[in-house]
């Protein structure tokens, strides 16, 4: 069964004020930071407060944002730590084989033999590859998000099929 899609996607987090005129340095949370330049509207924080006429600029490897009505360092400081959200409809389409986090979370996971392992409850981000934390009948199982292991992801069916390489389920089976 397909999960309802979230209306917004997080593309950045406000790291701190930049300068004295209300600009903010962003921590980028998207693989497509170039999409920020074309945005004219963003939503800020859990409340998803809309801002029209937002401006982004790049400076020495950083992304800076200015929101209309945010004219002072203090106003920018008040937004520190909040997420910068975009409407899902404005997101860059992903290439085949890539997925948004919300598409993977709560997905049912099965082995190639049809054994149910549980649901993806968390995604760990490592330097080498992402790791899916699956909770189910075997307890917690850590699934490396690599082609050799993850054989199929069907977003419509909310189903992932993995090949349990040797050692992957050994600890879980003993528990």
pLDDT digits (tens, 9 = 90+) for 115-155: 999 999 999 988 899 999 999 999 999 999 999 999 999 99
Other C-beta atoms closer than 10 Å to the C-beta of 165 total 12
* Residue-range definition of the domain harbouring residue 75: 8-90
Residue pair 42/54 in contact (Cβ under 8 Å)? The answer is yes
Same domain, 14 and 85: yes
What does the alpha-carbon distance between residue 35 and residue 88 come to, in Å, rounded to a whole number?
13
26 with 63, same domain: the answer is yes
Pairwise CA distance, residues 144 & 67, whole Å: 39
| Whether 36 contacts 12, CB under 8 Å | yes
10-residue block means of pLDDT along the chain (175 residues)?
A: 72 95 93 87 94 94 95 97 92 84 92 97 91 95 95 94 88 54
Q: Is residue 123 part of a domain?
A: yes
Specify the length of the chain in residues. Answer: 175
Lookup: tokens for 171: 């600890």
107 part of a folded domain: yes
Burial per residue of 99-117, b for 16 or more beta-carbon CB atoms within 10 angstroms, e otherwise: eeeebbeebbbbeeeeeeb
In a domain? residue 1: no
């Amino acid at each position: 069964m397909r999960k309802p899609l979230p209306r917004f996607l997080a593309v950045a987090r406000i790291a701190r004020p930049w300068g004295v005129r209300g600009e903010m340095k962003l921590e980028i949370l998207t693989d497509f930071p170039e999409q920020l330049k074309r945005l004219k509207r963003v939503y800020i924080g859990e409340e998803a407060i809309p801002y029209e006429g937002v401006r982004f600029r790049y400076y020495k490897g950083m992304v800076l944002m200015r929101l209309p009505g945010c004219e002072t360092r203090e106003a920018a400081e008040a937004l520190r730590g909040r997420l910068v959200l975009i409407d899902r409809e404005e997101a860059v389409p992903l290439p085949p084989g890539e997925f948004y986090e919300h598409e993977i979370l709560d997905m049912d996971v099965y082995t190639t033999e049809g054994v149910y392992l549980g649901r993806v409850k968390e995604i760990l981000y490592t330097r080498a590859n992402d790791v899916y934390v699956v909770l189910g009948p075997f307890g917690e199982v850590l699934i490396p998000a690599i082609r050799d292991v993850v054989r199929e992801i069907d977003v419509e069916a909310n189903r992932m099929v993995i090949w349990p390489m040797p050692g992957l389920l050994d600890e879980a089976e003993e528990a």
